[in-house]
Amino acid sequence: MARDVSRQVAGWVRADFGLDLSTLDEAAHGADEHARLWRARTSEGARYAVKLSGGGTPAGLIVTAHLAAQGVPGIAAPLRTRDGRLYGDRDGRRLSVVPWVSDQRALDGPMTEAHWHAYGEVLAAVHAVPVTDELARALPAGGDGYPSIVAATRDVAGRLRDRTDPGDPLVAELAATWASVADRVSTLIRGVERLAAARSGPAVVCHGDPHLGNLLLGPDGRVWLVDWDDAVLAPPECDLMFVVGGVLAFAPITPAQERTVRAGYGALDIDAARLAWFLAVRALDDLSDWTRQALDRAGSPDDRATAARIVRGLVSPVGLVTLADTALRDLDGRRLDGRR
């Protein structure tokens, strides 16, 4: 079955992009439920990332094409189809092709000091690109979906409250996990609703998800920022929250690494309220979404177990829920100090 799909996709790539692929191997990593990614190679040895996306919008392709055209480093520009488009239409999905720039994810390491510095340089260059009318039309405003995220969090909390299922131990485990962090979740919800106006600020192009899993490493300290499906227009804090602490529980960024990223970025003035707000929104979104996937009995046991493991990481002492809770409490503490 997988071989038949690969042959079909290779045929689409040939028809749409004029590329004859000799190999097409599906890549396993990635959290997008609506996308499939293949590592492809031509007989001449050129390598490409072939992606079939069933959700979202083509905004990520539009923004990477624009950034690459502006000379922003660390951006792999998508190939154009035979008729000049950024993707092909296949069964209601988008077929895109991008050069495969590296096999080495920053998440898997090792990152040198030069890589950390380049990470900051790439983020700064992205944020410095002027917002054109095309980008303004294509990119949503970062954080605008927060009411639905809050509603989804409350829905999952309601489903898990006092719920046990002897036939499904995972449900009982998730219910216990949510009960243990109920106060923190409530703090995040209140903070997101109370500080919603604080998210406003200078709107720049943001990747929206620039964690180390979306950063690829090359020789001589070179890096590439990939997977732009969550690109938005937002204040820089929308991206910079991934530098302050690192967001990923299993890959926290050390103070020394953060300093190196900041040195690469240049002049940097992080607004504490905006940073706390974006952290809290992301924490609620990740917590509710991964819990939903863990609860989905239609999913495979392995996928559900992976989702549950991610939920445990989110609420761990170094997890995003904890980071966001701490940021909100620190913000409140600074305000009290200011009043005194």
* In the predicted structure, residue 191 carries a pLDDT above the cut 80: yes
**Span 259-295, pLDDT tens digits:** 999 999 998 889 999 999 999 999 999 999 999 999 9
Residue of 233, 230, 225, 231 lying closest to 204 (CA atoms)? 233
Q: What is the DSSP letter of 77?
A: P
Tokens of 304: 């559900």
- When pLDDT is averaged across residues 185-195 and rounded to a whole number, the result is 95
Percent over 90 (pLDDT), the chain: 75
Confidence of residue 4 (pLDDT cuts 50, 70, 90): confident
Integer Cα distance of 264 and 108 in angstroms: 21
**Span 213-254, pLDDT tens digits:** 999 999 999 999 999 988 999 999 999 999 987 788 888 889
Residue whose structure tokens are 């002897």 = 166
- When pLDDT is averaged across residues 305-325 and rounded to a whole number, the result is 94
pLDDT at 29: 54
pLDDT at 13: 95
pLDDT at 339: 47
Confidence of residue 14 (pLDDT cuts 50, 70, 90): very high
Tokens of 151: 């509603």
* In the predicted structure, residue 333 carries a pLDDT above the cut 90: no
Residue of 311, 301, 305 lying closest to 176 (CA atoms)? 311
Integer Cα distance of 78 and 93 in angstroms: 16
pLDDT at 340: 40
Q: Do residues 291 and 171 lie in contact, with contact meaning Cβ atoms separated by under 8 Å?
A: no
Tokens of 281: 């929104």
pLDDT at 247: 82
* In the predicted structure, residue 75 carries a pLDDT above the cut 90: yes
